[in-house]
Amino acid sequence: MKLKMIILYWFTLFANVSNGQATHIVGQSGEIDTSVSAVHGFIDTDSIELRHFRDSYKEKYGSDDFDYTEKKEEKSAFIKFLERLFRNTAENTGGGMALVFIWLIRIILLLCILYGVYVLVSVLMGKEGTWFFKKSDVKRLTYGITEEDIAGTDYHEWIQKAVKDGDFRSAVRYHYLFTLQKLSGKGHIDFHRDKTNTDYRYEIRDKKLAGAFGYVSYIYDHAWYGAFDMNEGDYRLAAVAFDDTIKMI
């Protein structure tokens, strides 16, 4: 009996001690210490410096050094013309022979345009235009004239013969050569086979005479180098202009 009492006593004592410890632990866990000293080790106490972008940063990064966009080379006017000329050829044709034919026509057209520009520039510069497949008669006759020829040739005879044969273009040419002969004989120009009408005009110091020579040179260029057909009426008007210029020399 005494043994049971002793065991019950110690069991009760042990249960009270355990209950007290649990209560103390719960009390401690329910209380949170928020003092600075308790959390000091977990707070970043370093100073923070607030920085701002400069007002000019857009100008710096907006320069060409920071421009990474791909720039395309500017196309010339001629290249743009070619692109327009050959644009949409494939879409507008069924391909095959039709495509080849369209390209061929356009290439021929382009060559004709280029040759037309060449002839126009040749006429304006006082040079000869040559055809593709044969030598021009104009070129052969022009290269046959030398300094000795222009000094000793009787152009009146050649003019009359050309008019009689109805070759009014050649008659205009002989009028022009006769004018050069007179200008050279009077010392207004220094004749040379490689000089142009513009060269001779700049050599003439008399402005009125230079203007008249420029006009008959224009007639000669269009009648001879331009290969224009002339009738007798056209020739008579040209002959009057040449005669008036001769009188001024």
Give the pLDDT of residue 183.
94
Q: Domain limits of the chain? A: 77-124, 137-248
Mean pLDDT estimate for the chain: 71
Burial (CB count <10 Å: 0-12, 13-18, 19+), residue 135: exposed
Is the pLDDT at 222 greater than 80? The verdict is yes
Predicted confidence at residue 26, as pLDDT, reads: 43
- Dihedral (C-alpha) 144, 150, 154, 157: value to the nearest 10 degrees? 50
Percent of the chain with pLDDT over 70: 47
Q: Give 160's pLDDT tier (boundaries 50, 70, 90).
A: very high
Question: Please, which pLDDT band fits residue 202 given cuts at 50, 70 and 90?
Answer: very high
Q: For residue 206, what pLDDT is reported?
A: 93
The pLDDT score that the predictor gives to residue 137 is 40
Range in 16-30, 71-85, 97-111, 161-175 the model is least confident about: 16-30
Residue 242: predicted pLDDT? 95
